[in-house]
Amino acid sequence: TALTGITVFNTCVYVAGHYTSAINLALIGTTSSPVFSTVMAVVFLKEKMGTARIAGFLLCIAGIVFLISRGSWSILAAFHFSRGDLWVIGGALAFAVYSILVRKKPAGLSAMSFLFVLFMIGTLMLVPPFLIEWSQAASVRWDASLIGIILYLGAGASVAAFLCWNVALEKLGAGRTVLFGNLIPIFSVWEAVIFLQEQITIIHLISGALVITGLIIANLRKPG
């Protein structure tokens, strides 16, 4: 579990950022991971995919594609795979496996304790490649901005995010939880508006409506 979710997933994402474009990273990452996770949940965990969940799943994917392509077919037509894209797919596949394996958490272990163990093991497995890269890379110029980014990635995007994700997997199951991952680019847009003063457009509104509608439909329960 630590190998796939902590070591391999994070390595693939950060390596991919060096070789592929932001649009490819966002498009492949946000669409392929839910697909992999959903298929694995059905095959290995025997979770059921009803009509509502399938419809909601497709709406979520449509919303993400619409957002990243900005509603333009020409942008999608110009899309092509690169070496970095394969790293993204590898990371998405690793996280999908993690989302399945994390369901096997020992019953007597709390979510925080379980996450602590995962991070400790995953970090230890990253030490050898870290030492190799450290010996070959140029010296890092430390400043307040870099320290702040590292602290956020460590405490926010890693510990807090993984803890919430693990609890959701335990409560909702892998099939339903992965759909909420489609909210990541939606939140990114609104955060850009709030913190970077970027402008909201009709593309953002339509995309957000598709994703939220998809989530609502996917989580509908049959009466009784």
pLDDT at 57: 78
Residue 139 lies in a domain: yes
CA distance 121 to 25: 27
Residue 223 lies in a domain: no
Please report which confidence band the pLDDT of residue 224 belongs to, taking 50, 70 and 90 as the band edges. very low
Short-list 77, 74, 85, CA closest to 27: 85
Mean pLDDT of the residues in the chain: 79
Give the three-class secondary structure for 96.
helix
Residue 9 lies in a domain: yes
Residues 144-155, mean pLDDT to the nearest whole number = 84
CA distance 158 to 93: 18
Q: Domain count of the chain?
A: 1
Q: Would you give the DSSP letter of residue 107?
A: T
Domain residues for the domain of 164 are 2-218
pTM of the model as a whole: 0.72
Please report the sign of the dihedral spanned by the C-alpha atoms of residue 203, residue 25, residue 143, residue 119. Answer: positive
pLDDT at 22: 63
Give the whole-number percent of the chain exceeding pLDDT 90: 3
Size of the chain in residues:
224
Residue 79 lies in a domain: yes
Residue 62 lies in a domain: yes
Short-list 217, 176, 164, 215, CA closest to 42: 176
Q: What is the pLDDT of residues 161-200, one digit of tens each?
A: 888 888 888 888 776 777 777 777 677 777 777 776 767 7
Residue 109 lies in a domain: yes
Alpha helices, DSSP H, located in the chain: 2, 9-19, 22-44, 51-69, 73-77, 83-101, 111-136, 144-154, 161-172, 174-180, 184-196, 202-218
Residue 152 lies in a domain: yes
pLDDT at 81: 66
In this predicted structure, the answer to whether residue 3 has a pLDDT above a threshold of 50 is: yes
Residue 224 lies in a domain: no
